Amino acid sequence: MKSFRKSSISYMSKVAIFAALSIVLYYVKMPATLIIPVFPEYLDIQFSNLPAIICGFVVGPVGGVTVVVIRSLIKLPFTGTLGVGELADLVIGVSCVLISSLVYKKEHTKTGGIIALVCAFVSWVVFAAIANWLIIIPSYMKLFHLDAGYFVNLLSFVNGVTEQNFMLYYILAVAIPFNAMLAFIVCVITYFVYKRVSKLMQKLDGKFVDGETEIVDNDSQSDPNNQNE
């Protein structure tokens, strides 16, 4: 029972730490135009999925997905997109975290980690394209009264964009490159920092073990049945 309590506290503590980091990193952002000037001004570069992916590797798929859900719920009251951006972030985050952590859980090796990060990258880009196609662009057009001409002007750096094909061009010229860049950076950082973070989490486990041992020792000393008569 005590072992179960210890592992539960350790698990929840790790998830809480990663969730807090994810929320902080969401608000540490910069405009994507600083790197690629032709990107729309409303696109921001932020690394809030980084702690979620690492959490999925450390404690498993459920913990990683929980971080994404907590972050999305915390962001929701402060939304500037009427919840559209948060829903899209949730879809993208859950997909890449769940898929990558399931792969790493099955193949818990360095090679497995690389494969998992490749899966995270691919799933991130694919689901970002789907989210833009089915959620973001249609919702923005309806909620903010944007017409096709707005996106045609937005894609003025691309030849051949019309009001009939703007969605395809937006996904190919903006959504996929932007999310590929972001996913690549996050996956590379994860590759280099995961082991260090994992060791820190193991030390955290050690503190829980030491604390539990101290409690058991104190209980034993205070138990009259354990004293010599």
Query: pLDDT tier at 218 (50, 70, 90 boundaries)?
Result: very low
How far apart, in whole angstroms, are the C-alpha atoms of residue 100 and residue 71?
Answer: 19
Task: Give yes or no for a contact between 96 and 65, defined as CB atoms under 8 angstroms apart.
Answer: no
Average pLDDT over residues 214-223: 41
Per-residue pLDDT at 110 exceeds 70: yes
Is the entire prediction scored with pTM above 0.75?
Answer: yes
Per-residue pLDDT at 139 exceeds 70: yes
Q: What confidence score (pLDDT) does residue 228 get?
A: 42
Residue with tokens 């030390």: 203
Query: pLDDT tier at 102 (50, 70, 90 boundaries)?
Result: very high
Per-residue pLDDT at 104 exceeds 50: yes
Q: Which of 136, 143, 115, 124 is nearest to 184 (CA)?
A: 124
How many residues can be counted in the chain? 229
Sign of the torsion angle spanned by Cα atoms 105, 109, 114, 115: negative
Q: What's the mean pLDDT when you consider all of the chain?
A: 88
Q: What confidence score (pLDDT) does residue 64 get?
A: 96
Per-residue CA distances from 78 to 18, 47, 74, 228 (Å): 20, 18, 8, 63
Q: What confidence score (pLDDT) does residue 4 get?
A: 60
Q: What confidence score (pLDDT) does residue 208 get?
A: 54
pLDDT tens for residues 4-35? 666 788 889 999 999 999 999 999 999 999 99
